[in-house]
A = this chain, B = another copy of it.
């Protein structure tokens, strides 16, 4: 792990361990430099990382301060996406469908592949702490996600892609809508037709810019509480 990431982790763990409240001032840069035996720029980079994670804020001429924490029961939604920030929640999945197929025009467009190329199609229900969280339909570029099965799809597919396939997940584009549930969705989510849903279309890219996953997710509105922190641009 990189030095600045390591330092960021240690500072984060320190904040969490000591349960520091909002507004607590952290040691000044100079102190952090000697504490972690590193240069100023590396400390700054670590702090910038923590600032973008929403853990601290920095005030020029004043100091570095601890930022407010999440409300309980809210899913933290960083600019990393949902999936990794689910610590503290019990996430499981039930696979409804899993097959290899040819993509529709829309899917092919979003994955930047030809309509003759193969994709893995996965339809599943995801649970959070035993409650139905969402209904997900995902299309994976088979050239990148070379293999999938039921067992893998029952767990975290992204963990599998990162760890087993060794691919590096980069960024994503999300298109968010508020809509009413249709019949199929309502039955899977255990809700009524016309009930609210959060509907999100996402294209996930590897860190080299290749799209590997196009997904459509309908969230159960009863479980949909998200915590989101903005940071401003001047980092």
Tell me whether A53 is interfacial, beta carbon within 8 Å: yes
B232 and A57 form a contact (CB under 8 A): no
With A79-B79, A171-B232, A209-B59 already in contact, the answer to whether A197 and B178 are too (CB < 8 A) is yes
Tell me whether A42 is interfacial, beta carbon within 8 Å: no
A232 and B219 form a contact (CB under 8 A): no
- Interface stretch (choices A97-105, A141-149, A222-230): A222-230
Interface hits, A66-122 → B, CB 8 Å: 67-68, 71, 74, 77-81
Neighbour of A196 across the interface among B67, B178, B208, CB < 8 A? B178
Instruction: Sort A-B residue pairs by CB-CB distance and give the 8 closest, nearest first.
Output: A196-B196, A178-B221, A176-B226, A174-B228, A178-B224, A172-B230, A79-B230, A81-B230
A229 surroundings in chain B (CB, below 8 A)? 79, 171-174
15 residue pairs from A and B, CB less than 8 Å apart = A68-B203, A79-B231, A80-B231, A80-B232, A171-B229, A171-B231, A172-B230, A174-B230, A176-B225, A176-B226, A176-B228, A177-B221, A178-B196, A178-B198, A207-B232
Tell me whether A52 is interfacial, beta carbon within 8 Å: yes
Complex alpha-carbon distance, A228 and B177, angstroms: 11
A54 surroundings in chain B (CB, below 8 A)? 171, 173
B176 and A230 form a contact (CB under 8 A): no
A59 surroundings in chain B (CB, below 8 A)? 207-209
Tell me whether A170 is interfacial, beta carbon within 8 Å: yes
Tell me whether A23 is interfacial, beta carbon within 8 Å: yes
Tell me whether A128 is interfacial, beta carbon within 8 Å: no
> Closest approach, in angstroms, between the C-beta of A110 and any C-beta of chain B?
10
A170 surroundings in chain B (CB, below 8 A)? 57, 232
